[in-house]
Amino acid sequence: MYSSGKICLPIAVVLLAAVGGLAGATEPGSFGYGSVATPAQIAGWDIDVRGEDGTGLPPGKSTVDRGADVYAEQCAACHGTFGEGEGRFPKLVGGVGSLRDERPEPTVGSYWPFAPTLWDYINRAMPMSAPHTLSADDVYALTAYILSLNDLVPHDFVADRNSLPKVKMRNRDNFIWTDPRPDTMAKPCMNACVDAADVRISSTAEGRDLTPRTTGPLDTMQPK
Ligand code: HEC
């Protein structure tokens, strides 16, 4: 033990020298490890598409017919030839008018508010066993096909970055876009956030017998 401590010392010096040399090569303000992501690496992650206006949709386009072919090959086994869903895999069509039922059926046709979101979802997540393997054109084709299965676009529809945001989805107007809860509207604040004069306690739980008076096993916590 004693001697191994001695042997370690020169190694530590060499290590420090190596780390020092590396640190000299890093960007100012960095932590001294890793490397700056290349534009190509960032592009690989930066794939989000905004639902409402389709921001982020890439160039490319395709048709309902092409979509039917790709779909038959890559999607029908799980989602059914016409989107009816095999077994317990999700349906991609139907459920229109069911959203207020006891058993609502949310699908692309009945529930989804934006067509670009369909492009985004297929592009990032499908086919389930091999996501990120479809070309942009084939994702446009599949989007066109699924929209057409849902009677949301005509058979000659061509999906691209301009046409998808214009598709009027059935449930579009039933989403609430401004969330009025105070915690989502509040501006971030770190000090003097509330004027104490404005704070008024309007009610308390005191005396209402809401809190068990004993702690311990459940049976001793029941109100007597
Ligand atoms: C191996 C089975 C499988 C295959 C193949 C498959 N999917 Fe899926 N898909 C799923 C499952 C499971 C889900 C539900 C995932 C979840 O909710 O997390 C899903 C969800 C979806 C949804 C969202 C449905 C909704 O309303 O929430 C879409 C759209 C979709 N898939 C499209 C496709 C397309 C297009 C293809 C072909 C390129 C495809 N899927 C291939 C299994 C599959």
What is residue 162's predicted lDDT score, i.e. its pLDDT?
A: 98
Mean pLDDT of 195-209: 81
Tens digit of each residue's pLDDT (9 = 90 or more) over 101-126: 999 999 999 999 999 999 999 999 99
The residue type of 60 is: G
Q: Which of 20-24, 126-130, 131-135 has the lowest mean pLDDT?
A: 20-24
Looking at the predicted structure, is the pLDDT value of residue 180 above 80?
Answer: no
Task: With a cut of 80, say whether residue 71 has pLDDT above it.
Answer: yes
**CA atoms of 68 and 167, how far apart (whole Å):** 19
Ligand 1 center from residue 169 Cα (angstroms): 19
- Report pLDDT for 65: 98
**Residue 216 scores a pLDDT above 80:** no
Taking a C-beta distance cutoff of 8 angstroms, is the pair 170, 96 a contact?
Answer: yes
Comparing 67-71, 81-85, 91-95, 208-212, the range with the smallest average pLDDT is 208-212
The CA–CA distances, whole Å, from 159 to 55, 137, 138, 145 equal 15, 9, 10, 9
Q: Is the CB of 149 under 6 A from ligand 1?
A: no
Does the CB atom of residue 77 touch ligand 1 within 6 A? yes
Rounded distance, CA 20 to CA 25, Å?
9
Burial status of residue 110 (CB atoms within 10 A of its CB: 0-12, 13-18, 19 or more): buried
In the chain, % of residues over pLDDT 90: 61
Higher pLDDT, 181 or 74: 74
Regarding the beta carbon of 170 and ligand 1, being less than 6 Å apart is answered no
C-beta 127 within 6 A of ligand 1: yes
Q: How far apart are CA 91 and CA 80, in angstroms?
A: 8
pLDDT of residue 18: 44
Find out whether the beta carbon of 85 lies less than 6 Å from any atom of ligand 1.
Answer: no
pLDDT in tens, 3-28: 343 444 344 444 444 444 444 455 66
Mean pLDDT of the chain: 85
Average pLDDT over residues 67-93: 97
Residue 189 is predicted with a pLDDT of 82
Could you give the CA distance from residue 113 to residue 163 in angstroms, rounded to a whole number?
Answer: 15
Ligand 1 centroid from CA 155, angstroms? 22
Nearest CA to ligand 1 atom 17: 90
pLDDT of amino acid 193: 80
Token digits for 120? 């985004």
